[in-house]
Every structure is written in structure tokens, then in C-alpha cells.
Structure 1
Amino acid sequence: MWREVKVAATYGGMLHTFPWNGRGSIVALPPGDALYELQLGLRSSYTHLRGFSTTSATWQTETLDRTRNIGIIAHIDAGKTTTTERMLFYSGFTRRIGDVDEGSTVTDFLPAERARGITIQSAAITFHWPPGEVDGSTLQQTGADGAPIPRSASPHTINLIDTPGHADFTFEVMRSLRILDGAVCILDGVAGVEAQTEQVWNQASTYKIPRVIYVNKLDRDGAAFGRTVREVSSRLGVYPAVCQIPWFQGGNGPFVGVADAIHLQGLRWKEGEDGRAVKMADLQQLEAEEPSLAQELRRARIALVELLSEQDEAIVEKFFECDEDHLAVSSADIIESLRRCVLDQSSRIVPLFAGASFRNMGVQPLLDSIVNLLPSPPEAPDPEVSIGGVKGGLRRLLSGDLIVEQSEQATAPSKGKQHKKKKSALQSDSKDAISKLQSCALAFKVVNDPKRGVLVYVRVYSGSLDRNSLLFNTNLHLSERAPRLLKMYANDAVEVDSIPAGHIGVVVGLKQTRTGDTLVSYAGNKATPPEPLTSLQLRPIAVPPPVFFTSVEPHSLSEEKRMQESLALLLREDPSLHVTMDEESGQTLLSGMGELHLEIARDRLINDLKAKASMGRIEIGYRESALGASNPITKIFDKEVAGRKGKAGCMAVVEPLDEDASPEQVDQDTLLLEMYDGNRIIIRAPGLQAEHSRDEETSPFLPPGMDLVTFRAALQNGAMAALARGPQFVFPMHNTQVTLTVDPTSHLFGNETTASALSAAARQATAAALKDVQAGAGTTMMEPVMNVIISVDEASLGSVVHDISSSRGGHIISLDEEVPLPGTDASPTSQSALEEEQLPPIDPNRVYAPPDPFETPSIGVEIPVSTARPRTITAKVPLKEMVGYLKHLRSLTAGRGTFVMSVDRFENMSSQRQKAVLAELRGGF
């Protein structure tokens, strides 16, 4: 027999689910158990709570300890947006639950997102949990009876960021992660730990972000909670602290709820309802109704306490106080122990929860865990800053110590009393400079909104960013005024007067600020803060190199300017997009992180920014090279140029360039020996002695009015013009050496020899020498070869190596010897992986995981740790084969493979490959 009561607050706010109109929800409770109600923190009286209004024009000054800046990270289609919609509904932010399939979600508001049913750009939204207004009072730690009160008993402000899950939008996740204090990693209970989950997990580890795990979709056929738990330990390298286990009706029936190992109770939701009404049962009731579940719940509680005891000494003392009874340890002590482990960066324990968001099950306990376990802004790891080349924590900057250290390094060290006086003066000046620093913020995202203009999302780290304040951009070294400030609710916004420290907001009206810029405001609205604050950098974002590229062509020449302006705006929004101009083909090349990434960029370019352009195929820049040496060819140019007679001669010899061999010894007859675009040009003029006269180089053998600089430049330009077009395939020449010889007695004709005549003679001689090579040894085509570094797992290594060496004409250079590409830094993800490799591996078969009701011997019994071992392949592959390679690599590696590449060199093509490329260029495709 159960009775129904109206409640204003339940334990941890988990059942405190007031709808928009403020009326309490109906919750079923066991009858006549006053102690049970007291432990749950329930009150039988109804208290009216005001709904969270989105029309407020002021920013409420909540205390930072009641604020959570969190993000939701996961593989694509794990249920991030679905879970976010339930959070908004239960918090009273929305009146109805949005559906991804219907395109009615709050956070996926872009047309492209609703059409594809995926998240493309991260969306920020603010709500309160439990529902209610957050006041400025201090959090009450204990109740009237002295028992600890959980944090989730009082309303908290949650700034939530819903991030994309597709691998093409990894950079979108990276720039969101940098400003978060905590994260919720959502796993698909059917698919387990997927490829992109590993990527975003490594990124979060790099930024030292505390996390909790939520196993979703346990209502679907094939869901395996136990297997997923073991995969967490093997693939993510952490100890899963199982806080909830799934409740299947009768042991093998449908999923109806979760059993909570922290509170030793069962939470059951009714199928088909909105999830606000929850039936709770304690351990004794579960023993009567679901004995197998109660027995497994005991095992989960014992495993949870044992795991926490390995990392937290405080829980060991509590365990001994309870006479070594795992079930007697209070839930409040377990929550505090979990929180200490989550905030401890050296701990590998991660709390794990269960649910089915689409069926409205398990979201309220997840919200409680966010408030109870994840850190507030003051508790989060100190963000790294850089000032004048000196790196340190933000707290050291605000105390003035970092500026003192930077100033000491910038000035010469002194000794004795003078040094002490100087140091004290530096400390005084630094404290004075920091005291006038009004705010410090990081612009982590720039969005072009069709209605509001350019929106700059900022995370304020210190002070308060006020409206109309003058913001100095330390990256661009310019100042911009912030005319409007907004607090975002996905696509909706509320105008506010200031954004306090620890919060996320939007600045409207900034014309230059880009993603990743640091913004500071100084007392008195000074346009430029004093040194060294002008060099302050807050967590600068390292842009990953692009791996997918295509051409962008305007519909007409008149549309080219509009297209370039739109591309510049896209680059300001998304620094992971790159725009380059191919000098040979004249194509504008757009490169990014994948095919879908560029497809979305094209849609935004055409539909949102109204640029009239289209994307086409990439033109590969091939080259031509001589296979042998030509005979000496002499040409005399004798024509009128621009109404003036011109006459000059030149002899040219063309031969293959041996890069390994050192060039001939430079003697006094050699006027020039220079490399240009992979070719070497040598100019010789026997007997042309140079006489240095002040600023000019002159010679008595030169024509009147011509110096050696003009003489060399004319011959060089002529040779370069001839090398721009090969004799056989009309591609630019490469790896070719041209030797031009000018005999002053037979090739120079006094006043008739002009610079243009010399240039024409050199061009004709070089072109004739190239034709002579074609008639003799011939020429061959060359293609650009990329230096490629591919990261795969152990299981995919063989198939990727075979594909590179056989199907794509590449050759493997090394395995597991990663060398940073030229001009790039080692990625933080790879550094994090190296650090994690040093930790002892976790045996997944020793990790507690409840048995799956439908588990077969072939699923989840043994998970070898070696399958998750990362392997690195370094190879050289023709550029043509790398066009579209990302999609193929993902199919070979089940989505886990990634790669970066850079141009290495041009190499000669085999005759078979040359025929295939020529057939394709001539239209055989």
C-alpha cells in the first residue's frame, strides 16, 4: 500500500521536479515511515516556488559555490541532446520535452542541425537545479539534527554546453572543453565506448576536467550495462565507480528504473509518462519485490565502498566506525568521498550512473550528481595563463606573483639592497596593476547570428565584465567596446548589465574578436592596459591541422569579393577551417576536419551568408622533371620591343637536379646560383668582371645604363618563365637545373641589349633546351607526396598499413615513432596518451560490473586491454590518394583512426600511375 503526498524538496532535489506553473509533483512514498521521510529530506507541506523566468533583464549575482559550468561530451547519437532536453524540462525551463527526430529541441536550433538530427555547433544554456531562485546565502552544510545536507538540496545555477559528437567537429568540442569546470560523458548502453568518446575523453584529460559518466539507452534491445562498465576501464583507463545499476523488471524484463548504490534504494519510473513521478523503494522493499536486484544492489554498494577505500582515507575511517559494515556507511559520506575523488586530479575514479533519457528515466539523479560531485568555479583546476612568455596559474596572476616573475626575467638581475628595493617596487607595481584589472575573459566561440549579428561567447575568469566597458584584445592588440551583454538560453537571449566571474555570457557588437582571443578590461576604461598585461593569454587554443579539402568557386567574378568576405567571417567563427589560394590553378581551397565539416561550411556559406559560390573538386598541382641533360642551346633574340630595337643572346643547358650532390664550385664567372620553386638557376658570364662602385655593381662589358643586378634579374626572370611550362605535359618544371651562359663578346650588343631582350633570350634558350631534353631522354611527371602520421588502435593496424602500401601507392616510414610535422606542435591529445601509458593498466575483468540479463558468452566476458593500445604509423603517400582519405580511414578503423599530414616533397611517378593520372586529367573520370 502506497500513499501520495505533495513535496517541495526531496533528497538531493532528485524528485524536486516542479513544472513551469510552480505546482508540486505527485510522488509515491511508503506509508507512515517518519524516519524514512526525514532521511530523504522530505517535507509533507507544499512550498510555492517561482518558475525560472527568461524575461529578467538583470543578471542575478549568485554565489560561485552554487554555480556549475559543465559540458556534455559523447560519441555521435549517444543521446546528448535528448538528455539535455530532459534536464531543461525537469528544471522548469521548458514546458514540453523537445524531440531530436521532430526537430523541436532547444539546443539544436540551426536548420542544418534539425535537418540532419545531429549537433553541429555547441549551444550554451542556463537553468537552475533544483528549480527555484538561487539566493546569495551560504550553503547550509548540516541540518537541524546535525546530519549532512547534500548540495543538491539547494538550488544551483547550471551553465550547460551541449557539444557535437561527430568527429568532424572535434575542434568545436575542444574550444568548449577549455572553459568548462566539469563534464558529463554519455555512453550508449548498446554500443559501449565508441571512437569519438575516446577522443573527447582524452581531450578532457588533457585539460584536467572532472567528469561523471552516464550510461544511456538501457531501454533498447541489446543494451549491456556490465559490458559498457568494463569497456570504460579498458578503453578509457579509469576505475568506474558504479553508483547505479539498471533495474530490469523481474530480472530480465523491460528496463523500468535504477537501483541506487549510494542511497540503497530503487527508483522506478512509469512507462509512457513524462518522468516527473518516481516511485522509490528502500532495500527492504526491494528484497520483497525484487530479491535478485536487492542482492545485486548489496554487491554494488560493497564494490563502491571498497573502490573508494583504495583512494580516500576518510571513507576508510567511516567504514571502521560502522563496524566494517559496507551497508552502514551513510550516503552523505559516500557522496563526499566521491566528490573528493572526482576533484583529485591524481585519482582515476569516475562515478558512473545509468538511465534511459528517451524514456524519461534517470535524468533527475544525474542532475543531482552534477550538483553534488562536479566542482564549482573556485574548486575547478586553476586555468593556465601566459604573460610575457611566463606561464603559471590564474591565481598566481591575480596575486601579482606571476607579473613579478615576468618582470624579473625581463630585467637584468641585480644584487644586494638594490635588488631587494627593486623587487619590492615590482611587487608594489604588480599589485597596483592587478588591482585595476576589472575583468579577464576568454572568447571561446564566435557565432554569426542572422538577427543579432556577431555573438562572442566568453567565459569570465576574474572580476566582472560590464556593459559599455572597453575590452582590450591581447591577441590582436586593439580595443573594442562591449555595447551589449547577453545571457544565452540556446537560441534565446536575455540582456544583462554584467557577467560576473565564473559565468558564461555573450558580448554583442565586437567587430574584430576571434575564437580563442583573451579580453581584459582595465579601470577607467583605458584603451590599453599597462605592460605586461597586454601580453596576457588565457588558455590559447591550438588549432589542429586540416585533413580534408575542397575548392570554392564563385559563380561569377563579381561575386568573388562577397565570397571572400563570407569566408573571412567563417574563419573568424571556426579557426579549424583554412582558406588558401593555389597559385598555379588560381583555385580558392577550403580545408577542414572532414567531409561533413566542409559540407556544413558550404551550407552556411550559401544559405546563411548568402554567398553565390559552389564547391568543386581539387586540382592537384603536378610537376614535370627532366630525365636527362640537353645539348647546349644558343638563342639570339633580335626584335623590336615596345618600339625599341632589342638584341641579346644566351646559351642554356638543362639537366636533372641532383639534390644530394653539392653544386659546382662558385667562381668569379658565376653571377647567380639560386633555388627557385624546386629548381636551380645558375648564371655564368665568363670575363664579366664586376667593379664595385658605391651602391651599384657595374662592369665595363655591360651595356650602358645596365648594372649587374638588372642583368642577373633579367636572365633569371627569363629562365623562370620558361620553367613555368614543361615541354611535354605543360606542368611547371621541378627538380631541374638550368645553366645560363652569356658571353659578353658574342651575346651583348651595346645599346641594343636591353633587360627585356636579355630576358627574352634566356626564355627562348631555356625553352629550346627543354624541348631538346624531350627529344632525347624525355621528361616525367612528378606529384606531391605528403608526410602522413596516422593514429589507430592495435586491432586496425594491419588493415591500415596494407591499405597505405598496396592500394594508395605509399610507403611506410616507421611504426610508433611519431615525429611532429614541420610547423606544428605535438598535439595535447598525444601528450596525454603518453602520460596515460605510464600508468599501470586496469584489468577490466577485476572491475565490478553487474551481469547483463541477456549476456551471451561471446559478449563482454573478456576484454583484452591490448585492443585499446594506440599505434602510430608514419608514411609518405601521394596527395591525390589523400583526397577523401578520412572517410576511408574511419571505415577501416571503426571510426577510431585519425591523421595529420603536411607536404613533404615531389616525387617521380611510375609510368603506370602517370598514364592513369593523364587519362583522368583528359576527362576519363
Structure 2
Amino acid sequence: MVAAPLLRLPGSGMRCMGSRFYRSPINPLKSFSGLNSIQAQRQSIQCFSTSLSRWQDEVLDRTRNIGIIAHIDAGKTTTTERMLFYSGFTRRLGDVDEGSTVTDFLPAERARGITIQSAAITFHWPPGNVDGAQTGARDQSLPRSAASHTINLIDTPGHADFTFEVMRSLRILDGAVCILDGVAGVEAQTEKVWHQASTYKIPRVIYVNKLDRDGAAFGRTVREVSSRLSVYPAVCHIPWFEGVTGPFVGIADAINLQALRWKEGDDGRTVKMMNLEQLDAEEPSLGQELRKARIALVELLSEQDETIVENFFECDEDHMAVSSMDIIDSLRRCVLDPTSRIVPLFAGASFRNMGVQPLLDAVVNLLPSPAEASDPEVSIGGVKGGLRRLLSGDLIVEQSEKASVPAKSKKKKNTAPQTNPKDAIDKLQSCALAFKVVNDAKRGVLVYVRVYSGSLDRNSLLFNTNLHLSERAPRLLKMYANDAVEVDSIPAGHIGVVVGLKQARTGDTLVSYAGNKPTPPEPLTSLQLRPIEVPPPVFFTSVEPHSLSEEKRMQESLALLLREDPSLHVSVDEESGQTLLSGMGELHLEIARDRLINDLKAKASMGRIEIGYRESGLGESSPVTKIFDKEVAGRRGKAGCTALVQPLNGEDISDAAEEDTLLAENIEGNQIIIRAHGLQMERASRGEEESSPFLPPGMDTVTLRTALQNGALAALARGPQFTFPMHNTRVTLTINPPEHLFGGDTTTSALAAAARQATSAALRELLTGPGTVMMEPVMNVIISVDEASLGSVVHDISSSRGGHIVSLDEHVPIPGTDASSTESIAAENDLPPINPNRVYAPPDPFATQSVAAEISAISSNPRTITAKVPLKEMVGYLKHLRSLTAGRGTFVMSVDRFENMSAQRQKAVLAELRGGF
């Protein structure tokens, strides 16, 4: 009998014999020479295949794709730097103020001290090689953090102008760490990114940072988490203040019933650990509070996890006797359960090097691996579902059945037998999402991808389902912030970079197919992974090249900027011929200008930042008919169209839908309705894309309405009086085949031109009738100030800036009151509100003790102002707010809607735009 050979697994020094793994210097190729039978060889190959699959699964199980999300200046980048330092990735602690951080490597980031673009970095925790000797079956008696894991970390921006950057990073994460400022608590931007993460069902843990600062209130922050984020905080750490009211020196761990103390001024690598008995001797009040925290933690988990209840009864209902592994497993089940509202909460002070290592353990122990993450949504051929359903073939079968339904009414034709839809999935080698595009000065354009299935290999042919073209991937990289290591493949569940793609953009789906064919089978060409909606821009600025010879270079640089950041828009003003660059905010456009001129070396200048106004009609025009009859490029084109323009006034699409309606759609704040008299009955008796005897040869209703829609959109891009894009306008286009269609002379371009001329004429008619009015963007502004500055800020908003206050909310519910302030937050998610008074939170040691202290606390009590303010009045508001609040006020804003301007305000804005100021 021949013994099974020892086979080396790819990418590691592991060898397989049965199901055991160990290191051996034996060459696997030589072992085949000793095979004397085909049966032994087959057993060897089967052993290799099984072991390789097991090895890949376990490596994936020891991978975490996580992101850092929070309000600006909560300590995201500082925490990331500490994680890199303790994992052994860096040898010195990076400092945001010194501009020496690894993840903030752009010059603009280091100059401003903020994160502008998300940075991806890979490290191991605990330090070690995840592919090394530790690979094997996990010891269930030990936490996951006992073995080295690969962590792909993304540090995201916190500024409101870069919300889109956060959104595109959140899509590819399996878990997230939400960092809170222990002084400021849950801030406005924190709520925003929290709800964005909820839309993608991302499991999260919370880390309360900056507990070393004066005014830090851990207990108050815990209550805010329940009221403002509408979740149950599972307090796993409580802060350790020396002598109750002394400095912050460490944390007490309610999971493991131990205390961790760091030395003041040290780099944080040396930690003193004490059990509960030792803590009782050194800090009895903290030991007593730790017992309360453990009881509260077990009680909270018992409400949603039956397993921990069984463990509790097995321990004779002793909260202290429940093992730490049982609690970790219970927390993990709650975190991975999308219906659970329990979120683990940890404490620390990253700048003082305290609490980061336990946070890393929590990331490994509690957050999911790629295999455990929620199933990402995909769309294929108009059918939506989960990725796992797609890979199993069920979704593509459903799509094929849906596509074949209209064909049942068609006459049978002699067609070749259809192949099994599942065969297309079997030949699908990899499926990846390009979530970020970056132009690197040394390496060229880098396309960051998350691989969802299969393995993306070097030199593979990638089909872009958005652009419907194929590109080869010549190089693959594993990124370490600004450094990179070249790899041969990126397996499923991992994040990497493709170098050399010339067309891929942010948000594109990339697939590779067996046989290296340039185009995959038909269903896969429409595959979409988690598409993202780009918010409308509200600021714009002009971009002018220094000379005509620099025009091409400037356009190439702008195209590269748009590939990197789809929230930027480039348009050309027809009247002035200027190139306009639009973005989400002042800082957003300032960074785009720096990238364009300093990084991309475009020789161009940018004008001052302006606001994107809109124009709207005040009444209804009469129907206007235009016949386009002109020879273009040697071919005659003739078509007609009737247009009617009227204000939208918030009517729904269904209000205007009639039997002969071909299209009714809301696009960019306007509504376009297309009607065709005489086509409805013919259209009802045929497939959607079949020709009609009333239409020109080779044209169907889809082509007809697309051409008319494009013509209407071109006319709406420019208002008749102020030349701003039209908004809140309904355009009704009517086609009468005998009058407006002229057989072979009617082309799609002629139809688009007729629709544009008719719509423009109807808009011009408004000037002689009801007229038009300018519209300005009104922002939804959330301002956080202290109680002492509340009056001056409210007066400034309501009187000086023409805004109106929507609500004044206290930052924290006052103990003893009802939880009415939580109802609006919980209502957004259709969840019952949480009463923060029933949530466990340790007492804050610096609570007020005297009347003078109470008065001081009231004056510094954080308050939140919600207001609607015109965007023009918010330009440069941050400097003014800081002067009103002694530097303590912050705000975030987002576009609420466009509103008509008063005559006086319109006159003042026009005078300023024309230089009369």
C-alpha cells in the first residue's frame, strides 16, 4: 500500500496528510515519482484539491474587510495609525498635526489635517502571517483573536462634502468601526454615515474615543447612542479614571472581567493587566462598576440570544460565572444578525495610545468574514436579487423566464436550441466591483476592486458591464496605503488594485469569463453590483486653459477627475463657451482644483466658486408645434413634434398618465411625458420592441421615445430668461403620426431636433405670458452648538441669512423625561424608540457637584439646531459660526430642495452675478 503523498498548498509552507497541516521541506513534485498505481495518484490529487479548498476557506475566514466611519475630527486617522503601529506595519506613530500619517498621504490632506479620499491598507492582527503555520481548524475554546487575521482597512473621510466618498467605500465593506468623540458625543455627520451603513446592512461596533480630554462623558455618550442612533449599546468597556476623578489611565473589560492600564506617555505597547480581585484591591469603585457592567451586558444579550440564556442557567444564574467565550459568541451572533439592534461599545483614547489593541481584538472576534457578510444585491437583466442566488443559477433562470414571457405571444420561429442559463454562471471566473479610481503619479491610474466571486487573475480579460467593453488586467497590486506589492491574483472576498485599465470608472462592474472571450453570454452583460446614486451638485466654478494648445490637456485631466469622482460634473455653457466644473461643496471644489492644477499638472485657471441656480416657469404655455426639415451630412431629416410646458407643482407621474402615454418619467427635477396618438392600440397587440406600420422603417417605440426624451432634456438644460437649467417643469411632447412622421426621412436625430425646437419655443413663450422665476437651492442644515451660543446662532440664521428654524433639540435627553426625542429617529427605520434611561451607562466621574458647576454645565450643554437656509447664505459660514461660538460650533448640510426666489432677492443675486456689487 502506498502512503498518500505530502502536497504543498499554494502560497504557504503548509503540507497536507489527511486533514492535518504541518510544515515540511519535502518537494511535492518528487512525491509523484513514488506513485505505483493510478488509484494512489487519484487519492493524492483529491487530497490536494480538498486541502486547497479548505486552505482557501480558512484564509477567507481569517480576513476582515472593515472601514472607519465617523464625524470629522473624531479620531479616525489617528486610530488607524495606532492600528498600523501595533500590528507591526509601521515603526513610528503617525501624527495628523505633523502630517506624518500613512493613510493621509495626499499633500492637501496633510496640509489641512483632514481625510479627503479613502485609503485602503492591509495588515495582520495579531502580528503574524495568516498564511503560515496557524492555518488549520480553529480551536473553539479560544477567541478568534488568538490567531493572526488579515485586515483590509479603509479610512474614510468625515467631512460632509465627501459624503459620496464614504458611500462608495461603504458598499464594499463587510463591517465597520464607528468612532465617537467622547466629548462631543454623537454628532450630525455620525448619524448620517450610520444610516448610510444601515442601508447596506453593515455590522458595526462603536469605539468611544478621546476619553482623556477635559469634558469627556462616556455615560452621556452611551445614552446618546441609544437615543440618536436608535440601537442598544452593549457596553463592553468602561473607562478607568484614576481615583474616580483623576486622569484617564485605562479601561475595565466587562467581557473578560479584567482591567487594562497603560502607562502615561508610553507608546501603548506595554499594558498592565489585572483581574477582578486585583482591581478590587487597587480601585474598588471601578471593580464594583465592572460587576454592574457585566450584569447589564449579560442581561442585554439575554433579551435577544437564547443561547446565552441557556449558558446563564448552566452557571446557576451567576452573571460573573458566564464564560468570556460565551459572551463573545453571543455578541458575534447579535452583530451578524441584521434584525438585532445590539451594538458592542468600546472605550479608549487613541492619541494617548490607550484602548486600540482591545478594539482590534473586537474587530477580529465580532465583525464578519467575507463569507459571513450580508449577501450583496445584484441586478441582471432588470431582475434584482442576492449574489448567492446569482452564483447558484437561480437568479439567471428567473431572468431568462422573465425575458421569455413576451416571446410567448410571438410567432414561433426556427431558432437554435437555447443553452442552459446555468452554464453561463459555471463559466464565470470572477465578478468584481470597481469602487474607486485614483490617478497615481508613479503607477498611473489605479482601479480599486472588491472581488465578490472567483479569483481575479493577472492578464485576465475583464468585461465592463457598464461600458460594454473589455480590457485586460496587466498588473494586480495589494495596497498598503501609498505603497503596493504586486500579486498574481486577488481571490474572492479581498480588496486589491488593477493597474492599466484605461476606461473603468468608479462604480463599474467587472467580470471575467472562461475562454478569454471578449464578451460573456447575454445575461452576464447586464450584471450590476450595488449601483450607487450620485447626488446632484450644488456648487460650480469655471475652468479655463491658459492657451488653446492646453485645451486638450485640460480636457484629459478633467476626464480623469470624473473617473475618480463621479460626484463631479463637467458641462459647457452654450452662451459663453466656458467649461464649468460642479461639485458638492466649497471644499470639494477646492480639492478638485488642487488635484487638477497641482497633481495632474493641467495649465488652467479656475474662477470663483458659484452656486448652481435653476429656472422655473410661473404658468402654462400653449401647445407649440415645430417641424424640423433640414439636410444634415448629406441626408435629409424631417420630423415634427408638439410641446406643452407647465409648472410641475408636485404632481405625481400617475396624474398625467393616459392611455396613449409612451413615457412618463421624472428626470433631474423635471417631468417628461411623451404621448403618441394612434400608436396605442397597435402597441398593445405586439411585443414592446416590435415595429409599427405608423413608425418609420427600422424604428420602434423605444427608439422613438428615447429620441424625443433627449431632445426635451437638451432644451431644459437652458432656461429662456436667465439661462439656468430648468427645474420643477413638466414637458408634454405629443406625436401625431400623420402630421409629424414622414417615412424614411424621419430619423432619430430629426425627432430629437424637433423635440428640442418645440420645447425651446414653448419655454420662450413663457416670457410673453406668465414669465419665469429663478430658483435657489435650500439646504437642510444641522448645527451643533453649546447652550451659551444658541441664541446668537439662531438669531443669525433667522434674521441675517433668511433661513427658518425647523427644530431645537437637546443633544442628550434629560434624565427623567420621556423618550419623545427618539421617536423621529426610530420612525425613519420603522423601529420602536429606545428609552435612554433604561440603557446601562456608567456614571460620569465629572458630573456637576455644585450650583456653580450646574450653571456652567447648562451653558456648555450641547444643542442641535435644524434649519432650512438658502445655499448662498451658507457660503463661508463655518468661519462665521466659529466666531459666534468661540470655535466650538460645527455644522453639516445637504440639499433639501430648490425654492422660488422673491423678486427682491432675485434682483440682488442677478446684480451680483453681473458684477454690479
Sort the Cα spacing of 1:921 and 1:602 in 2 relative to 1 into closer, same or farther, 3 A.
closer
Sort the Cα spacing of 1:880 and 1:333 in 2 relative to 1 into closer, same or farther, 3 A.
closer
Query: What are the within-5 Å matches in structure 2 for residues 675-714 of structure 1?
Result: none
Kindly indicate whether residue 894 of structure 2 is the aligned counterpart of residue 899 of structure 1. Answer: yes
The equivalent of 1:18 in structure 2 is none
The equivalent of 1:851 in structure 2 is 843
The equivalent of 2:601 in structure 1 is 610
Out of 81, 86, 95, the residue aligned to residue 99 of structure 1 is 95
Query: What are the within-5 Å matches in structure 2 for residues 612-651 of structure 1?
Result: 612-617=603-608
The equivalent of 2:170 in structure 1 is 177
- For the aligned residue pairs, the C-alpha RMSD in angstroms reads 4.4
The equivalent of 2:350 in structure 1 is 357
Kept in 1, the 8 Å contact 2:586–2:875? The answer is no
The equivalent of 2:258 in structure 1 is 265
What per-residue deviation string (whole Å, max 9, x for no partner) do you get for residues 533-563 of structure 1?
A: 0000000111111222222233333333322
Sort the Cα spacing of 1:779 and 1:85 in 2 relative to 1 into closer, same or farther, 3 A.
same
Q: Which runs of 5+ in 2 are unaligned?
A: 1-54, 627-639, 648-714, 730-763, 808-823
Q: CA deviation at 1:792?
A: 4.9
AA of the residue aligned to 1:209: I
Partner Cα separation in structure 2 for residue 604 and residue 219 of structure 1:
37
Sort the Cα spacing of 1:219 and 1:576 in 2 relative to 1 into closer, same or farther, 3 A.
same
Q: Which stretch shifts more, 395-404 or 798-807? A: 798-807
AA of the residue aligned to 2:844: D
Q: CA deviation at 1:902?
A: 6.4
Identity %: 79
Partner Cα separation in structure 2 for residue 496 and residue 731 of structure 1:
50
The equivalent of 1:659 in structure 2 is 619
1:377 counterpart SS class: coil
Partner Cα separation in structure 2 for residue 730 and residue 501 of structure 1:
50
Query: What are the within-5 Å matches in structure 2 for residues 566-605 of structure 1?
Result: 566-605=557-596
Q: CA deviation at 1:883?
A: 6.3
Q: CA deviation at 1:340?
A: 0.4
Partner Cα separation in structure 2 for residue 733 and residue 346 of structure 1:
43
2:66 counterpart SS class: strand
AA of the residue aligned to 2:239: P
Partner Cα separation in structure 1 for residue 341 and residue 529 of structure 2:
27
AA of the residue aligned to 1:900: V
Kindly indicate whether residue 776 of structure 2 is the aligned counterpart of residue 786 of structure 1. Answer: yes
1:231 counterpart SS class: helix
Query: What are the within-5 Å matches in structure 2 for residues 490-505 of structure 1?
Result: 490-505=481-496
What per-residue deviation string (whole Å, max 9, x for no partner) do you get for residues 305-346 of structure 1?
A: 111111111111111111111111110000000000000001
Sort the Cα spacing of 1:521 and 1:833 in 2 relative to 1 into closer, same or farther, 3 A.
farther
Q: CA deviation at 1:235?
A: 1.0
Sort the Cα spacing of 1:920 and 1:412 in 2 relative to 1 into closer, same or farther, 3 A.
closer
Structure 1 or 2, whichever has the larger Rg, is 1
1:604 counterpart SS class: helix
Sort the Cα spacing of 1:854 and 1:91 in 2 relative to 1 into closer, same or farther, 3 A.
same
Q: CA deviation at 1:583?
A: 2.3
Kept in 1, the 8 Å contact 2:254–2:293? The answer is yes
Kept in 2, the 8 Å contact 1:889–1:898? The answer is no
The equivalent of 1:443 in structure 2 is 434
Query: What are the within-5 Å matches in structure 2 for residues 274-289 of structure 1?
Result: 274-289=267-282
Partner Cα separation in structure 2 for residue 441 and residue 328 of structure 1:
46
Kept in 2, the 8 Å contact 1:594–1:886? The answer is no
AA of the residue aligned to 2:389: R
Out of 69, 78, 83, the residue aligned to residue 82 of structure 1 is 78
AA of the residue aligned to 2:392: S
Sort the Cα spacing of 1:790 and 1:370 in 2 relative to 1 into closer, same or farther, 3 A.
same
Sort the Cα spacing of 1:886 and 1:852 in 2 relative to 1 into closer, same or farther, 3 A.
closer
2:152 counterpart SS class: strand
Partner Cα separation in structure 2 for residue 792 and residue 900 of structure 1:
12
Partner Cα separation in structure 1 for residue 793 and residue 524 of structure 2:
48
The equivalent of 1:560 in structure 2 is 551
Kept in 2, the 8 Å contact 1:266–1:283? The answer is yes
2:571 counterpart SS class: strand
Partner Cα separation in structure 2 for residue 902 and residue 392 of structure 1:
32
What per-residue deviation string (whole Å, max 9, x for no partner) do you get for residues 236-279 of structure 1?
A: 11111000111111111111111000010011111111111111
Q: CA deviation at 1:894?
A: 5.7
Kept in 2, the 8 Å contact 1:782–1:909? The answer is no
What per-residue deviation string (whole Å, max 9, x for no partner) do you get for residues 9-45 of structure 1?
A: xxxxxxxxxxxxxxxxxxxxxxxxxxxxxxxxxxxxx
Q: CA deviation at 1:786?
A: 3.4
Query: What are the within-5 Å matches in structure 2 for residues 445-594 of structure 1?
Result: 445-594=436-585
Out of 312, 317, 320, the residue aligned to residue 319 of structure 1 is 312
Kept in 2, the 8 Å contact 1:622–1:782? The answer is no
Partner Cα separation in structure 2 for residue 785 and residue 252 of structure 1:
55
Partner Cα separation in structure 2 for residue 333 and residue 377 of structure 1:
23
Partner Cα separation in structure 2 for residue 431 and residue 724 of structure 1:
51
Query: What are the within-5 Å matches in structure 2 for residues 380-399 of structure 1?
Result: 380-399=373-392
Partner Cα separation in structure 1 for residue 66 and residue 74 of structure 2:
17
Q: CA deviation at 1:586?
A: 3.0
Partner Cα separation in structure 2 for residue 677 and residue 618 of structure 1:
32
The equivalent of 1:633 in structure 2 is none
1:379 counterpart SS class: coil
Q: CA deviation at 1:785?
A: 1.0
1:250 counterpart SS class: coil
AA of the residue aligned to 2:575: E
Kept in 2, the 8 Å contact 1:179–1:459? The answer is yes
Kindly indicate whether residue 903 of structure 2 is the aligned counterpart of residue 909 of structure 1. Answer: yes
The equivalent of 1:213 in structure 2 is 206
Kept in 2, the 8 Å contact 1:68–1:156? The answer is yes
Kept in 2, the 8 Å contact 1:177–1:204? The answer is yes
AA of the residue aligned to 2:157: P
Kept in 1, the 8 Å contact 2:58–2:135? The answer is no
The equivalent of 1:337 in structure 2 is 330
Query: What are the within-5 Å matches in structure 2 for residues 138-287 of structure 1?
Result: 140-142=137-139, 148-287=141-280
Kept in 2, the 8 Å contact 1:547–1:899? The answer is no
Partner Cα separation in structure 2 for residue 480 and residue 235 of structure 1:
46
Partner Cα separation in structure 2 for residue 889 and residue 780 of structure 1:
40
What per-residue deviation string (whole Å, max 9, x for no partner) do you get for residues 802-848 of structure 1?
A: 98886566899x99xxxxxxxxxxxxxxxx97864421111112211
2:396 counterpart SS class: helix
Sort the Cα spacing of 1:620 and 1:325 in 2 relative to 1 into closer, same or farther, 3 A.
closer
Partner Cα separation in structure 2 for residue 588 and residue 798 of structure 1:
43
Q: CA deviation at 1:898?
A: 2.9
Partner Cα separation in structure 1 for residue 577 and residue 798 of structure 2:
32
AA of the residue aligned to 1:844: P
TM-score after normalising by structure 2: 0.70
Partner Cα separation in structure 2 for residue 733 and residue 431 of structure 1:
47
TM-score after normalising by structure 1: 0.69
2:577 counterpart SS class: coil
Kept in 1, the 8 Å contact 2:450–2:496? The answer is yes
2:368 counterpart SS class: coil
The equivalent of 1:54 in structure 2 is none
Partner Cα separation in structure 1 for residue 60 and residue 719 of structure 2:
64
Sort the Cα spacing of 1:94 and 1:622 in 2 relative to 1 into closer, same or farther, 3 A.
closer
Partner Cα separation in structure 1 for residue 143 and residue 169 of structure 2:
29
Sort the Cα spacing of 1:520 and 1:888 in 2 relative to 1 into closer, same or farther, 3 A.
farther
Q: Which runs of 5+ in 1 are unaligned?
A: 1-58, 626-656, 679-719, 736-769, 816-831
The equivalent of 2:60 in structure 1 is 64
Q: CA deviation at 1:861?
A: 10
Q: CA deviation at 1:584?
A: 3.0
Query: What are the within-5 Å matches in structure 2 for residues 355-434 of structure 1?
Result: 355-412=348-405, 429-434=420-425
Kept in 1, the 8 Å contact 2:82–2:350? The answer is yes
AA of the residue aligned to 2:775: V
Kept in 2, the 8 Å contact 1:780–1:909? The answer is no
Sort the Cα spacing of 1:368 and 1:333 in 2 relative to 1 into closer, same or farther, 3 A.
same
Partner Cα separation in structure 1 for residue 311 and residue 420 of structure 2:
50
